[in-house]
Amino acid sequence: MNTTDNISSQFLKNRSTERKLTMKSLSLRLLVCGILPTLLLTACSASQPPAPTAQPASQTDAANHAPVILRVEERTETQNRQLLLHKDIYFTDSKGDATTVVNKLVSTDPAGLTATLADDPITVPADEQKRAGLVTSTIGCSVVLSPYSLTVEDRIRDAAGNLSEPVTVIFACPANPPNSLPSVISALVFGLGLLAGFWLYFRKRPSEKKPAILSILLLFCSLIPLQFLGSILHEGGHAVGNLLLGRPVWNFYVHPFTFSGFVRPITDNVWVHAAGYITILPVSFVIFCLLWKRRSVTNLPFVMLFPLDAIIHGLLMLILSGDIANILRLTGFPAIVFIGLGLVLVYSGIFLLLALFPLLGLNPGDRKPLLIVPAAFFLQGISGWLVAHLFVPGSSFDLRYLDGADIIESANNLAILLPILGGLFAVLYVTLFRKIYPRLPAWLQTETVSLTWKDLRLPALLAVISVILGLIVII
């Protein structure tokens, strides 16, 4: 506005100077020629300013009626343990019909972050807009291991499509790592409890120590390649879904550890979200059916794939989490459909998993499974927890996508959940399954195996290969 006033003042000064020069010239002509009336008419016509050039109505309206951003003020707020960054945008609009704050992502720090910014609707009354309106643009800071910022260009648009001049705002979020203390406390409690249980149980049964150790190691070594294969199938389904839609796959983050896997970029499509379930459940079921009649200690990681994945994906359906939440959001399907399917998967998965426990050297009539099964799941959870905390912070995936905090949080949760699940499986095995085992048809019954160190060769080799490949992926 100041620049426009200066230009107008200068224009008036120039016109005043021109008029003075014109009047002096006219006086001389009157004295010399004596034709005052004619020259007066001529001088008056010459002093008239030229007619203004007509402008298109749309350009004139845009210049006169475009909203104007007055200033932007920043404030912060903590809500439900999340830091919220508010940008209070003060503006005026001569017609009072401003409708939207248009948010355009300009850059990110670190560069290359993916962020989707929605426009902010303006609901300020027209009279208030004409004086000084206020609209707030807000983002919630994520749980992250390192700070990040979003540089955003904001403009206000009115009902006619006129846009204000842009203003640049920066949303700077600090580092906000997840709280790992509950998982540490849980690990200490479970670890000390298991040590005490083993000491009490085996001090009078020293001959059972070796079989118990073999059972723990066999189950632990089987869970590692099983987890790796499950991660490949689930995330591979998402990757194939991306490719079928003509989208690229930038990162295929799969591993054998107890934390989240990813495919990047994320495509918000119902079939892409469902592709993980569509891939892993049928494929693992086919593998299970092919190997069930020839089930043995050697192929245990593969035959156990479907039961465990059915339990995991069934639980996600029951709590309507992850991909299921996205499917519900995009389709509007009734949640009861997924809850019912989740129950079927969980119950069938638990039954088939318990039917394989004799291959671990576990007899349903013994009490050893109450220690052995939780111990193996505890080792799986704590090893994944250690890998997440040691190798994920500062890794290339974390720096590019800022997903390190989510990964560590999932490792924290599973370090608590897995021993609990192991304990539940063990209780069901020595109680309910022990009662129904004699009534099962012959093709569902599995003879209890007496394990030797040779039985660990293939599961241990698969576990080592899986861990090496997983570390290559996540580092």
Q: Which CATH number is 123's domain given?
A: 2.60.40
DSSP line for 164-205: PPPEEEEEEEPP-----HHHHHHHHHHHHHHHHHHHHHHSS-
Domain with 167 in it: 63-173
Digit-coded pLDDT (tens) for 4-56:
333 333 333 333 433 343 334 434 343 333 443 433 344 344 444 444 444 44
The residue from 173, 190, 215 where one domain ends is 173
Whether residues 396 and 451 share a domain: the answer is yes
Q: What is the mean pLDDT of residues 300-327?
A: 94
Which of 221, 381, 213 shows the shortest CA–CA distance to 297? Answer: 221
Q: Are residues 322 and 382 in the same domain?
A: yes
Is the peptide bond preceding residue 265 cis, with omega within 30 degrees of 0? yes
Q: How far apart are CA 313 and CA 335, in angstroms?
A: 15
Integer Cα distance of 311 and 352 in angstroms: 10
Tens of pLDDT along 47-103? 444 444 444 444 445 455 799 999 999 999 998 888 999 999 999 999 999 999 999
| CB half-sphere exposure, 437, CA atoms < 13 A | 20
User: Alpha-carbon distance 37 to 41, whole Å?
Assistant: 6
Q: Which helix (H) or strand (E) holds 366?
A: none
**The total number of structural domains that make up the chain:** 2
220 with 83, same domain: the answer is no
Give the residue from 120, 150, 173 where a domain finishes. Answer: 173
78 by DSSP, 3-state: which?
strand
Residues 290 and 413 occupy one common structural domain: yes
Task: Let me know if residue 119 belongs to a domain.
Answer: yes
Q: What is the DSSP string of 222-285?
A: HHHHHHHHHHHHHHHHHHHHHHHTT----EEE--SSSS--EEES----HHHHHHHHHHHHHHHH
Q: Is residue 141 part of a domain?
A: yes
pLDDT tens, position by position, 264-297: 888 889 999 999 999 999 999 999 999 999 999 9
pLDDT digits (tens, 9 = 90+) for 406-447: 999 999 999 999 999 999 999 999 999 999 999 999 999 999
Domain shared by 165 and 231, yes or no:
no
Residues 252-264 have a mean pLDDT of: 94
Domain-ending residue, one of 173, 197, 231: 173
